[in-house]
Structure 1
Amino acid sequence: MFVDTVDYCAKDAPRRLVESLRQTGFAVLVRHPLPSGLIEHLYHDWLTFFESGDKTPYHFDPVRQDGWFPPEVSETAKGSQLRDLKAFYHIYLWGRIPPGLRQDVLAYFGVATALASELLGWIEAALPVEVAASLSEPLSDMVLGSSNTLLRMLYYPPLSGEEAPGALRAAEHEDINLITLLPSATEPGLEVCDRQGRWHAVSYEDGALVVNVGDMLQEATQHWLPSTPHRVVNPTGEWARQPCISAPLFLHPRGDVVLSPRYTAADYLHERLCELGIK
């Protein structure tokens, strides 16, 4: 399975990015504008947050879905019987953010959302005429005024050896949203499933950015772009004794956006959160 590595600064970057997304649902972007120093600070500070202190004041709100989700209430991927081996913190611009982490979080949220919106524009420009005509509104308009875009700080604890057989850091799943931006995590482990059901490791390159299609974009484009199953496998050797941090940004449309005759964005999101067992 060929997930292309695309140079953001190259003249053909939009074409190559969309082509890789069209074929695999994924692309890897290098020389992108997200500040590496800011990402490093985020990872360092959030690792400290997850591994120390009382997080009870930030316990997730089951209605608003912001805040800290401890491992015992982590997601159970659709079709899986086992919870993922992770904890995470949901950050929305309107939500709760620990004061000491707020400045860097808001700075990263701003630049990452701007890049995600730009990449969505690349996709929009490449849509076939008939697919573009079928949209309820242009893709770039779907995110205007959206309060649903989510930055998730993910914490994968070191493996103890006592995990349930078959449990993974993140079991097979697809993302819910339009597109996801995932900077390189502190460890490898991301795998993507091809159309023959075979799993392939996504290139782990320091400073790279993984971009992938979510279910809402697949729905809106009538499957012209595929939302591809992916997972995070458990590490072995020295990696298994280390925690891992990552920070996917999920670009979401407004809740009232009509994705298809079957779904609004709000309906789709509610259905999936219920399936994941976190709402």
Structure 2
Amino acid sequence: MQLKAVDYNAPNAAQEFVESLRQTGFGVLKNHPIQQSSVASIYKNWEAFFNTYEKNKFVYNKDKQDGFFPQSVSEVAKGFKKKDIKEYFHYYPWGQCPDALREELSTYYKNTSSLAAELLSWIENESPEEVSKHYSMPLSSMIDDSEQTLLRVLHYPPLAGDEEPDAIRAAAHEDINLITLLPAANEPGLQVKAKDGTWLDVPCDFGNLIVNIGDMLQEASGHYFPSTTHRVINPEGTDVTKARISLPLFLHPRPDVKLSERHTAGTYLHERLTELGVL
């Protein structure tokens, strides 16, 4: 099985995209409205930022979860004991950000959030009635005025050879949120776990936009849409000297939004962040 890119402008784009999400938990879009020049510029500017001491002036607020997370506090995926080999910056419009980088990141945040709302409408419109009747409100309305949607700038540094045994750039995990939008990274490595347990390489053609389902959409849809396990594997050979930058946008509902009889978005998020050890 392969993940194929769906043309955003095709007449049947919504159907093909949602079917891919349904079958694999992932959808890949090409010819979408996010400017590749913007993505390339962000990658360049933030790789330079991560290579300076200035990043330490923006160390994260534990309560607000905004700012720079050094590798020493990197996430430990649920069920794993080794920290991921990465560092990252959490951007929220209301949070801290280097002045020189804020405008570019803010524009990208707005544009991708708008596209994400459209994709959530695709998902809702393509949901069977027995699934959509359980949504507490339109999926795209769940993110209206949400201050929880997170843009994460991820930096996977070159491998130095002294990494902990079995540690990888991002251990197998599922995302917490509704959906995640991710432009193809500057280096390969992202894999998704298929239903038969094998690992599939996610197309990393520069210009593709990768979308995956998170746990909150799985919860809201009664598991009709699967939150798919994915990981970022370590490079090999000469590629170990290359850093990897990626830019996931995690679409989060407002905390009060009801996901299911068990959870609001707020209670669900708190439960998962506690499991990850970041609260």
Q: Same fold (TM over 0.5)?
A: yes
Aligned equivalent of 1:44: 44
Does the residue aligned with 1:182 lie in a helix, a strand or coil? strand
Do 2:186 and 2:244's aligned partners in 1 also have CA atoms closer than 8 Å? yes
Do 2:2 and 2:200's aligned partners in 1 also have CA atoms closer than 8 Å? no
Shift in Å at residue 4 of structure 1? 2.8
Q: Report the Cα distance in structure 2 between the residues aligned to 1:238 and 1:184, rounded to whole angstroms.
A: 21
Does the residue aligned with 2:147 lie in a helix, a strand or coil? coil
Cα shift readout 1:117-154 (whole Å, capped 9, x = no counterpart): 11011001111111111111121211111111000000
Q: Which amino acid aligns with 1:143?
A: I
What TM-score comes out, normalization by structure 1 length? 0.98
Does the residue aligned with 2:223 lie in a helix, a strand or coil? coil
Shift in Å at residue 53 of structure 1? 2.7
Gaps in structure 2 of 5+ consecutive residues: none
Q: Report the Cα distance in structure 2 between the residues aligned to 1:27 and 1:160, rounded to whole angstroms.
A: 33
- % identity of equivalent residues: 52
Do 1:4 and 1:16's aligned partners in 2 also have CA atoms closer than 8 Å? no
Q: Which amino acid aligns with 2:206?
A: D
Q: Report the Cα distance in structure 2 between the residues aligned to 1:157 and 1:18, rounded to whole angstroms.
A: 34
Q: Report the Cα distance in structure 2 between the residues aligned to 1:37 and 1:169, rounded to whole angstroms.
A: 26
Q: Which amino acid aligns with 2:225?
A: L
Gaps in structure 1 of 5+ consecutive residues: none
Aligned equivalent of 1:197: 197
Corresponding position: 1:82 with 2:82: yes
* Backbone CA RMSD of aligned residues: 0.9
Aligned equivalent of 1:54: 54
Shift in Å at residue 201 of structure 1? 0.9
Aligned equivalent of 2:240: 240
Aligned equivalent of 1:270: 270
Do 1:2 and 1:24's aligned partners in 2 also have CA atoms closer than 8 Å? no
Aligned equivalent of 1:29: 29
Q: Which amino acid aligns with 1:78?
A: K
Q: Which amino acid aligns with 1:138?
A: P
Q: Which amino acid aligns with 2:205?
A: E
Aligned equivalent of 1:138: 138
Shift in Å at residue 55 of structure 1? 2.2
Count of matched residue pairs: 279
Cα shift readout 1:52-83 (whole Å, capped 9, x = no counterpart): 13323210001000000000000000000000
Aligned equivalent of 1:183: 183
Q: Which amino acid aligns with 1:6?
A: V
Shift in Å at residue 2 of structure 1? 3.3
What TM-score comes out, normalization by structure 2 length? 0.98
Aligned equivalent of 1:101: 101
Cα shift readout 1:150-196 (whole Å, capped 9, x = no counterpart): 00000000001111111010000000000111101110000000122
Do 1:152 and 1:247's aligned partners in 2 also have CA atoms closer than 8 Å? yes
Does the residue aligned with 2:227 lie in a helix, a strand or coil? coil
Write the mapping of 1:103-142 to structure 2, written as runs, cut at 5 A. 103-142=103-142
Shift in Å at residue 37 of structure 1? 0.8
Question: Which one is further off, 74-83 or 2-11?
Answer: 2-11
Aligned equivalent of 2:13: 13
Question: Which one is further off, 134-143 or 11-20?
Answer: 134-143
Does the residue aligned with 1:134 lie in a helix, a strand or coil? coil
Cα shift readout 1:27-64 (whole Å, capped 9, x = no counterpart): 11101110111111100110011001332321000100
Do 1:189 and 1:233's aligned partners in 2 also have CA atoms closer than 8 Å? yes
Does the residue aligned with 1:94 lie in a helix, a strand or coil? coil
Q: Report the Cα distance in structure 1 between the residues aligned to 2:2 and 2:207, rounded to whole angstroms.
A: 20
Q: Report the Cα distance in structure 2 between the residues aligned to 1:55 and 1:166, rounded to whole angstroms.
A: 27
